[in-house]
Amino acid sequence: MAVVAFESRRRIRSFTKNYTTIDGRSRLDYNYAQFFTYGGEMGAHLYAGSDEYVVSRPLMEIVNVAIALGKPLLIKGEPGTGKTLLAHSIAKALGKRLIVWNIKSTTKAKDGLYIYDTVQRLNDARFGDKDISDIRRYIRLGKLGQAFVSEEQVVLLIDEIDKADIEFPNDLLNELDEMSFYIPETDELIVAKHRPIVVITSNSEKELPDAFLRRCIFHYIEFPDEAMMERIVRVHFPDIEERLLREAIKKFYMIRAMDSLKKKPSTSELLDWIKALMIGGISPERVASEIPFAGTLLKNEFDVEKIGNLGKGKPAYVRFRS
Amino acid sequence: MFTRFFFLLREKGVPCTITEWLSFLEALNGGFLQTSLNHLYYVGRAFLVKNEAYYDMFDEAFREYFGGIEEIPIDLDRVLEWLADPCHLPPLTEEEMREVMERLGHVKDLLELEKEFLKRLNEQRERHDGGSRWVGTGGTSPFGAYGLHPFGIRVGGESWAQSAVKVAEERRFRNYRNDLILDTRHIKVALKRLRELKREGAMEELDLDETIDKTAREGGEIELVFKRSRENTTRLLLFMDVGGSMVPYAHLCERLFSAASQMEHFKEFRHFYFHNCIYQDLYDDMANVKRIPTDWVLSNFDERYKVIIVGDARMAPSELFEPYGAIDYFYRNEVPGIEWLRRLKERFPSSLWLNPTPKLYWSHPTVEAIGSIFPMFELTLDGLNESIRCLLSKGRRKNFT
């Protein structure tokens, strides 16, 4: 006996109940966004995935709440689960401009606000052929600053925030809270004209400070299960042969289940691999019995060696000495 | 509202704060959350839990608080059969869309809808696609999947159709908990904290302050000053026991090893194997064939190296304390194992021992003896984090003296 759950027995609050729609088609999504209002004026901002990005229902709802409340959305998850793509997808689906701020280990919070190009000014002062009295000419806005002064609402992606110094997120607290910052050099206050939709991704290389976490909405993207993966692959290869798809996905999860791999293949590697299989005209039977083009799936030669035996029907012998 | 849920969360160990709880309530009262358990589960979790390590505890609390609410057993298998391999609703033009909406647009009471759904299930005998009445796919009936109806009941399709309480009961996030055995990803996160940034290497970073200072001194002639860029200077040695009693933990050690060897940030990483206890030889390979004299290790690596030894530290007392005590019959050690361990500790002040056996079983003479030389930690995520804190603080203390 299986069990189905009804979403709720309580009263229906306005128009927000169990729709039987969404299958990933943009046309429908568009209609969906048009017809379902979400507490009044928010209807136009509803995000429901985009053409080439399959979003899970929970994540979709969370994105919408984050947008509605104007809170930064912090996304964590294994590599290849589409953290960065989410921001691209939101921008595309809502027709907004995307500003990407890639964080490196040397990035300082201030870089995102503005950069005062002292060296250029010094250089200009030396030759005296330019007007250096106007300090404004040497102040360039960083990515966060650009998002603030934009004439329309933008999507701001702060990518891999955990790469930076441990104090980095704390330095951004105020700016993200109030959506404004002050430039002492010019005595200017930059205030966001439209609160940007902020998406932050992290690979959890470092723990993020609590104060920062408190202000975010958090979602951990699980690695897609086989059914979800099937949908994702279909979005990229609409006319893939059914059996090839099934064999490839089965193999893929088999390889991923191996603990001793140096690098587990992720979604993007699976897509590359399937592309290679399709171009190479490999039959599903061959995929079932061996692993053609293992190099596209695994980026490490030891790993390729390890799974070499896997396809031939023998379990790979990867054990510690006993 | 739900205040007891907040305390339940904290009781279960989710470190959610009042600020987070308030913004969750704000969202709730602002009408941004739908009045459904699924929504409460996923969106509530996004507000209240900020680390996947606590997802499992959230699940527990959620199940305890909301468990037992609203579930009606029906013969789902039969319905899902009708819904399998769906026929998709053809894209509608705006006008068609409006028409459909008008036709369906009256809000039904959900209870009534539910009743109707059960009734129709009892009547329906076969598959229906594209229609407007029966349970099926690609239509505008309020029941089914892959179709269009503003207030219908959706059956199957995605995980959303599963009740949140069910999802919580599955406890899919068990493995993300901090206090359980860890996987490679966890270990990598922990090891990354070992990073030590120091200025080393080539002079290639522009030192702005110094440049301005010098330039001003030179009277406006630009003088560029460079400094060394920061680099990670962590050096790590890993010694691993591959003795017989370690076999049950081989899997775990394998993960630790694979995480450590994947760390690209270390300035240097070397690993050695030993059998039961360290004597005058270490080994380069797991089969203990290629010997490397322990003395060579002691003289070729200096005190800047951090050392992690992994082993169960459990052996016959003679193997540790007595000369010629090694377990292998043909292996003769003049110096007892404990002495070798002391020498290692002397040479590498920041060193520690990770023990894969639970702390509960540590009352054993050799475990205690080794624990008095090296700080010993459990090989769990908490233990690993603690041990790394220990390694780092050791290093710092040394700098002061």
pLDDT digits (tens, 9 = 90+) for B252-308: 777 777 777 777 667 788 888 888 888 888 887 766 677 888 888 888 888 888 898
Chain B within 8 Å of A14 (Cβ-Cβ)? yes
Using pLDDT thresholds of 50, 70 and 90, give the confidence band for residue A100.
very high
> Which pLDDT does position B93 carry in this prediction?
67
pLDDT band at residue B52 under the 50/70/90 scheme: confident
pLDDT in tens, A183-232: 888 888 888 888 899 999 998 777 788 888 888 999 998 888 888 888 88
Residue of B nearest to A116 (CA): B208
Q: Which DSSP category does A53 fall into?
A: B
Please report which helix (H) or strand (E) contains residue A239, including its range.
none
What CATH number is given to the structural domain containing B331? 3.40.50.2300
Interface touch B150/A36, C-beta < 8 Å: yes
- The tens digit of pLDDT for each residue in B219-242 reads 777 778 887 766 667 788 888 888
Residues B246 and B217 in one domain: no
d(CA A55, CA A228): 9
Residue A114 C-alpha, separation from nearest chain B C-alpha, in angstroms:
17
Q: DSSP strand E in chain A: where?
A: 3-4, 73-77, 97-102, 114-116, 139-141, 154-159, 180-183, 188-191, 197-202, 217-221
Asked if B37 lies within 8 A of A15 by C-beta distance, the reply is no
Instruction: Name the residue among B396, B387, B377, B398 with its Cα closest to residue B191.
Output: B387
Q: Which pLDDT value is given to residue B397? A: 43
pLDDT band at B196 (very low <50, low <70, confident <90, very high): low
Of B175, B189, B177, the closest CA to residue B385 belongs to B189
β-pair partners for A99? A156
ipTM of predicted assembly, 2 dp: 0.71
| CATH 3.40.50.300 matches A70-221 | yes
B226 and B324 assigned to the same domain: no
User: Cβ separation of B74 and A3 shorter than 8 Å?
Assistant: yes
Of B70, B183, B192, the CB nearest to A8: B70
pLDDT, residue A146, reads 92
Count structural domains, chain B: 4
In a domain, residue B175? The reply is: no
**Helix pair angle (A226-236, A267-280), 10° resolution:** 50
3-class SS letters over chain B: CCHHHHHHHHHHCCCCCHHHHHHHHHHHHCCCCCCCHHHHHHHHHHHHCCCHHHHHHHHHHHHHHHCCCCCEECCHHHHHHHHCCCCCCCCCCHHHHHHHHHHHCCCCCHHHHHHHHHHHHHHCCCCEECCCCCCEECCCCCEEECCCCCCCEECCCCHHHCCHHHHHHHCHHHHHCCCCCCCHHHHHHHHHCCCCEEEEEEEEEECHHHHHHHHHHCCCCCCCCEEEEEEECCEEEEEEECCHHHHHHHHHHHHHHHHHHHCCCCCEEEEEEEECECCCEEECCCCCCCEEEHHHHHHHCCCCCEEEEECCCCCCHHHHHCCCCCCCCCCCCCCCHHHHHHHHHHHCCCEEEEECCCHHHCCCHHHHHHHHHCCEEECCHHHHHHHHHHHHHHHHHHHHC
Asked if A320 and B107 come within 8 Å (Cβ–Cβ), the reply is: no
Looking at the partner chain, which of A4, A20, A321 has a beta carbon nearest the beta carbon of B147?
A20
Residue scoring higher pLDDT (A294 or A318): A294
Q: Would you call B152 and A5 a contact, using CB atoms and an 8 Å cutoff? A: no
Are residues B225 and B239 located together in one domain of the fold? no
Q: Which of B113, B137, B164 is the last residue of a domain?
A: B164
**Does A124 lie at the interface with B, CB-CB under 8 angstroms?**
no
- If asked whether residues B243 and B370 sit together in one domain, one would say yes
> Which pLDDT score is estimated for A75?
93
Q: What is the pLDDT of residue B121?
A: 63
Task: Verify whether the Cβ–Cβ distance B250 to A69 is below 8 Å.
Answer: no
CB contacts of A13 in chain B (<8 Å) are 31, 34-35
Name the residue facing A28 among B91, B155, B165 (closest C-beta).
B91
* Same domain for B86 and B52: no
Mutate to test the interface with A, among B20, B28, B32 (most CBs of A within 10 A): B32
The verdict on B373 and B241 lying in the same domain is: yes
Long-range contacts of B154-158 (CB under 8 A, 24+ apart): B154/A18, B154/A19, B154/A20, B155/A4, B155/B76, B155/B79, B155/B80, B155/B83, B156/B76, B156/B79, B156/B80, B156/B83, B157/B83, B158/A56, B158/A57
For residue B60, tell me if it sits in a domain: yes
> Which residues in chain A are closer than 8 Å to B246, comparing Cβ atoms?
320
Q: Please tell me whether residues B27 and B149 are part of one structural domain.
A: no
B386 and B273 share one domain: yes
Percent of chain A exceeding pLDDT 90 equals 13
Residues of B in contact with A81 (CB under 8 A): none
Give which of A1, A6, A62 to mutate to test B binding, by max B Cβ within 10 Å. A6
The pLDDT of residue A314: 43
Q: Delimit the domains of chain A by residue range.
A: 70-221, 226-312
Show the tokens assigned to B95: 């006008």
Place of tokens 């839990």: B49
Residue A65 with chain B: CB contacts under 8 Å: 27, 32-33, 43, 46
User: What pLDDT sits at residue B178?
Assistant: 53
* Residue A39 binned pLDDT confidence (cut-offs 50, 70, 90): very low
* pLDDT reported for residue B264: 67
- R_g of chain B, CA atoms, integer Å: 32
CB atoms within 10 A of CB B234: 24
Helix (H, G, I), strand (E, B), or coil: what is residue A98?
Answer: strand
The helix/strand/coil state of A247 is helix
How many inter-chain contacts (A to B, CB under 8 Å) are there? 226
Would the CB atoms of A57 and B158 count as touching at under 8 Å? yes
Residues from chain A that touch B101, judged by Cβ atoms under 8 A, are 35
Taking the Cβ of residue A260 and every Cβ of chain B, the question of whether any pair is shorter than 8 Å is answered with: yes
Contacts of A124 in chain B (CB under 8 A): none
With beta carbons under 8 A apart, name residues in chain A contacting B275: none
Per residue in B321-374, pLDDT tens? 888 877 776 677 888 888 889 999 988 888 889 888 888 888 888 888 898 899
Q: Are B211 and B238 in a shared domain?
A: no
Asked if A102 has any chain B CB less than 8 Å from its own CB, the reply is no
Q: Give the domain extent around B97.
A: 76-164
Of B33, B193, B212, the CB nearest to A122: B212
Q: Which two tokens stand for residue B357?
A: 């056996």
Instruction: Give the model confidence (pLDDT) of B123-178 as tens digits.
Output: 665 656 655 555 555 555 555 554 444 444 444 444 444 556 666 666 666 656 65
The kind and range of the H/E element at A120 are helix A118-127
A chain contacts of residue B92, beta-carbon cutoff 8 Å: 27, 31
Average pLDDT over every residue of B89-106: 63
- DSSP per-residue codes, A121-152: HHHHHHH--S--S-GGGGEEE-HHHHHHH-SS
Are residues B102 and B48 part of one domain? no
Q: Is residue B390 part of a domain?
A: yes
pLDDT at A219: 92
Cβ-nearest to B71 among A3, A11, A204: A3
**A300 has a chain B CB within 8 A of its CB:** no
Query: A183 near A114, Cβ under 8 Å?
Result: yes
